Structures are given as C-alpha cells and as structure tokens.
C-alpha cells in the first residue's frame, strides 16, 4: 500500500477488492479547512467510487447483465457494442501483439476477458478525475495496484509497500514511487491462487509474485501479468522494451530485482 504519515485513507469496496484513496493537504485547499475540507474529501471519494462502479458494471464477467457478459453470450454483437468496450478490446489486442501473445484478452474457451486492463483503466480515470478536481497530491491503491501523484520533497515521497506472498501481513520492501515511475502493479498466485495461464514449459511460472513499476498503471498492470505468465523470457523482453523496474518473488522465496531497485527497497 502507498504510505505517507498523517494521511487517512478513504476506502471504497468495488470490483471484488478495496480501493484506498489518500489525499494530500492540497486536495481540499480550495474548500478551506475543517468541515469544508472533509466534505471535499468525501466528494472525491464518491467520485472515485462512481468511476469504479461504471467500469465494473460494464465489464465484470461476474455480472450477467454487464455489456461484456452480453457480448460473450452472443446477446450483443461486438460490432454493436459501445465505443468504450471496443476501444478496450482494441487496447488489449494491441498489448497481445506487443507481448508476443503472452498477454491475451481471451480465455481458453474463447470468451473475451478484459480484466487485464479494466481495473488499471479505472485507476487511470479516477486519477485523472482527482487531478481535474485540483488535487495535486494523492494516491490510489486498488487491491495492490497503485498510482500516485505529488511533490518529491525530502521525506515526502509516496512509498509502495510490497507484501510477502507467503505472509500477506508481512512487507517485503517499501519502494519510493519517484518520478518518472509513479505506478506499480503486482500479479501472482498468492492472493487469488493460480489464475494466470502460463506459457512457459511445464505450465508453471517461475515467479510467485511480480511487481512492476512504470510510468503509467496500465503498462505496469499488463506487464506484471505478462511476466508471471511468460517467465524469464517475458521478463527479459519487457525490461528491454519498456521503461520499467521489476521486483519478483521466485517459487523458492528468493527475490529478483532489476538494477533500478537494487539497494532501493528498505
């Protein structure tokens, strides 16, 4: 989770997880102090909640009435779907091409599953909304996928706490989310079990958990899944192609960190 002392979290339950919103002192500056600032924070929380609700209602495969569920059942043709859905599908297909097919928006049965990009797109939109409301210092944490914005004053950087997949109450590392890498996403089997189809020989990823630090949350999220699914080859290709840093937990519990993180985590 992102850390900075003195900032209470506003919580939203959505998409089967909890979104934590932390607002810096500037978030309610226009509203003044006291009750007005509290009201501004609650309004920001409601706006973030609305963003995630809309994405979930449209794309969740756990909702039989969602637009994506209707497409997969054949009740709605993809060509007749909303522009938002078609753009998201095109984005996922683009990432499939950019990752040599390791990342895919299709399940084994052929169903379209856009969960690999939807949550990060919701985080991105919520962050844009906070910025449009005048907030210059904030963090959004949706189930461990984090996007932050704020000043880099000494001792005031946001820290991403990476949890231990073997003990969800323990922290492996606290990594500053410094410019230009302001987003981090984690993927693996620790929280949801083996839910990622692996392309490596034997079908078992060498990584139990992968955390990717990137410029934007969509790239971080997609590549975290890609590296878990594709193993060492995907890790090497991703770090060569994209401006990212990676912290991976191997099956034996050992850690692998790319050069930008070595000596950084505390």
H or E segment at 54? helix 35-59
Beta pairing partners, 167: 164
> Residue 128: is its pLDDT beyond 60?
yes
Q: How many CB atoms lie within 10 A of CB 58?
A: 19
Confidence (pLDDT) at 266: 42
Mean pLDDT of the chain: 88
* Per-residue pLDDT tens over the stretch 36-52: 778 888 999 999 999 99
- Tell me how far apart the alpha carbons of residues 129 and 69 are, in angstroms, rounded to a whole number: 27
CA-based nearest residue to 181, from 223, 142, 209: 223
* Per-residue pLDDT tens over the stretch 161-174: 999 999 988 999 99
pLDDT band at 191 (very low <50, low <70, confident <90, very high): low
Give the pLDDT mean for 86-105. Answer: 97
> Residue 195: is its pLDDT beyond 60?
no
Confidence (pLDDT) at 199: 65
* Per-residue pLDDT tens over the stretch 197-229: 566 556 689 999 999 999 999 999 999 999 999
Concatenating the DSSP letter of every residue in 77-142 gives -GGGS-HHHHHHHHHHHHHHHHTTTSS-SB-TTS-B--HHHHHHHHHHHHHHHHHHTT--SEEEEE
> Residue 74: is its pLDDT beyond 50?
yes
pLDDT band at 101 (very low <50, low <70, confident <90, very high): very high
> Residue 160: is its pLDDT beyond 90?
yes
145 vs 198, more confident: 145
Confidence (pLDDT) at 264: 46
Pick the CATH number of 2-257 from 3.10.520.10, 1.10.760.10, 3.40.140.10, 3.90.650.10: 3.10.520.10
* Per-residue pLDDT tens over the stretch 237-246: 999 999 999 9
> Residue 31: is its pLDDT beyond 50?
no
Confidence (pLDDT) at 25: 63
Is the distance from CB of 163 to CB of 172 less than 8 angstroms?
Answer: yes
Long-range contacts of 61-67 (CB under 8 A, 24+ apart): 61/111, 61/113, 61/115, 62/16
pLDDT band at 3 (very low <50, low <70, confident <90, very high): low
Confidence (pLDDT) at 201: 56
- Could you tell me the two tokens for 31? 């509203």
Q: How many CB atoms lie within 10 A of CB 254?
A: 8
- The fraction of the chain above a pLDDT of 70, given in percent, is 84
pTM of the model: 0.90
> Residue 29: is its pLDDT beyond 50?
no
Confidence (pLDDT) at 231: 95
Confidence (pLDDT) at 58: 98
* Per-residue pLDDT tens over the stretch 61-72: 999 999 999 999
| Per-residue CA distances from 65 to 14, 37, 110 (Å) | 17, 38, 19
């Amino acid at each position: 989770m992102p850390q900075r002392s003195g900032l209470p979290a506003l919580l939203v339950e959505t998409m089967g997880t909890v979104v934590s919103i932390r607002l810096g002192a500037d978030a309610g500056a226009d509203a003044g102090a006291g009750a007005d600032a509290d009201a501004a924070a609650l309004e920001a929380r409601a706006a973030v909640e609305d963003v995630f609700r809309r994405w979930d209602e449209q794309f969740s495969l756990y909702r039989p009435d969602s637009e994506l569920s209707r497409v997969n059942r054949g009740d709605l043709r993809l060509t007749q779907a909303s522009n938002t859905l078609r753009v998201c599908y095109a984005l996922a297909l683009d990432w499939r091409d950019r990752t040599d097919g390791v990342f895919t928006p299709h399940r084994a049965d052929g169903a379209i599953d856009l969960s690999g990009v939807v949550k990060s797109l919701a985080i991105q939109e919520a962050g844009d909304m906070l910025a449009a409301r005048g907030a210059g210092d904030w963090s959004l944490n949706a189930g461990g996928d984090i996007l932050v914005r704020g000043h880099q004053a000494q001792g005031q950087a946001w820290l991403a706490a990476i949890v231990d997949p073997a003990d969800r109450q323990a922290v492996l590392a606290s990594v500053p989310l410094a410019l230009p890498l302001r987003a981090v996403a984690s993927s693996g089997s620790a929280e949801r079990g083996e839910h990622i189809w692996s392309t490596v020989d034997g079908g078992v990823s060498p990584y139990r958990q992968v955390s990717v630090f990137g410029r934007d949350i969509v790239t971080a999220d997609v590549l975290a899944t890609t590296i878990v699914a594709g193993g060492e080859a995907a890790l090497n290709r991703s770090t060569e192609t994209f401006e990212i840093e990676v912290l991976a937990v191997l099956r034996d519990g050992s850690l692998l960190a790319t050069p930008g993180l070595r000596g950084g985590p505390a």
